[in-house]
């Protein structure tokens, strides 16, 4: 097996299971602190679009990596939707629409055009998580293993894309690599005690005061 094939399969394994620690953490704790719903909606877009792109360019590692990732992305979105009080299907419908658009670009305009189009959701998924890491009061819902694997996965695919000369993957991955590195560093800083910036002001629901029978008028 050629080195590029080995690298592709390693990237496949990492990409397929990088969200598994996050799914386990979310299923166990139901804690969404620090997690980005927009980020995971975008992950669904990329899982679908990159699966089809892999089919188009005939790369089995990319097909398996993206398609297997659906088995973690979809359950994470389901759990997050329920925890946040949202309906599951409406939460996922925008992802399906964007993925369909990207697939159309890939089919009609080619790999390079697809790579340019993939820059935007690629940046969105990492940037959305960056915002949550910066602004969330706590990041206890975020899996450190998944954050680290996300960075490793992008690094592996960047090297693989250069070796197989896939312009679409090179363009898309290179722009998100630095954001993924930022997420790793910022997560570590938050866990070491760094306070959030631009903290959201959350409206607290009024706590009902119990009324005794004698107090009723």
pLDDT per residue over 46-56, tens digit each?
A: 999 989 998 98
User: What pLDDT, in 10s, does the model give residues 19-43?
Assistant: 999 999 999 999 999 999 999 999 9
- % of the chain exceeding 90 in pLDDT: 51
Residue 185 has pLDDT above 90, yes or no: yes
Residue 192 has pLDDT above 90, yes or no: yes
Tokens of 135: 């602004």
Residue 58 has pLDDT above 90, yes or no: no
> What pLDDT, on a 0 to 100 scale, did the predictor assign at position 209?
46
Residue 177 has pLDDT above 70, yes or no: yes
Angle between helices 111-135 and 167-191 (to 10 degrees): 10
> What pLDDT, on a 0 to 100 scale, did the predictor assign at position 217?
45
> What pLDDT, on a 0 to 100 scale, did the predictor assign at position 8?
75
**What's the domain range around 107?**
3-215
Residue 214 to residue 217: CA distance in whole angstroms: 8
Chain-wide mean pLDDT for the chain?
85
Residue 201 has pLDDT above 70, yes or no: no
The total domain count for the chain is 1
Tokens of 131: 């915002």
Contact assessment for residue 53 and residue 168, using Cβ atoms and an 8 Å cutoff: yes
> What pLDDT, on a 0 to 100 scale, did the predictor assign at position 65?
82
Mean pLDDT of the 6-30 span: 87
Residue 206 has pLDDT above 60, yes or no: no
Residue 111 to residue 116: CA distance in whole angstroms: 9
Contact assessment for residue 144 and residue 189, using Cβ atoms and an 8 Å cutoff: no
> What pLDDT, on a 0 to 100 scale, did the predictor assign at position 57?
85
> What pLDDT, on a 0 to 100 scale, did the predictor assign at position 62?
79
> What pLDDT, on a 0 to 100 scale, did the predictor assign at position 204?
37
> What pLDDT, on a 0 to 100 scale, did the predictor assign at position 151?
92
Contact assessment for residue 129 and residue 183, using Cβ atoms and an 8 Å cutoff: yes
Helix H segments across the chain?
A: 3-17, 20-29, 37-57, 60-83, 88-109, 111-135, 144-164, 167-191
What SS3 state is found at 197? coil
Neighbours of 77 (CB within 10 A): 20
What is the DSSP secondary structure assignment for residue 198, as one 8-state letter?
S
Contact assessment for residue 139 and residue 33, using Cβ atoms and an 8 Å cutoff: yes
Residue 173 has pLDDT above 60, yes or no: yes
């Amino acid at each position: 097996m050629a080195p590029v094939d080995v690298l592709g399969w390693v990237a496949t394994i990492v990409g397929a299971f990088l969200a598994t620690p996050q799914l386990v953490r979310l299923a166990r704790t139901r804690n969404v602190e620090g997690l980005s719903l927009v980020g995971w909606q975008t992950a669904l877009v990329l899982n679908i679009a990159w699966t089809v792109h892999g089919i188009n360019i005939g790369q089995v590692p990319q097909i398996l990596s993206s398609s297997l990732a659906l088995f973690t992305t979809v359950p994470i979105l389901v759990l997050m939707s329920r925890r946040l009080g949202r309906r599951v299907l409406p939460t996922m419908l925008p992802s399906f629409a964007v993925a369909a658009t990207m697939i159309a670009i890939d089919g009609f305009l080619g790999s390079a055009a697809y790579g340019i189009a993939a820059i935007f959701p690629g940046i969105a998924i990492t940037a959305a998580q960056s915002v949550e890491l910066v602004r969330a009061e706590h990041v206890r819902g975020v899996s450190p293993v998944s954050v680290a694997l996300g960075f490793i996965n992008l690094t592996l695919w960047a090297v693989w894309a250069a070796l197989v000369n896939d312009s679409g993957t090179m363009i898309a991955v290179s722009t998100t690599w630095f954001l993924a590195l930022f997420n790793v560093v910022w997560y570590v800083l938050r866990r070491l005690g760094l306070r959030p910036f631009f903290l959201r002001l959350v409206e607290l629901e009024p706590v009902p005061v119990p009324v005794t029978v004698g107090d009723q008028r």
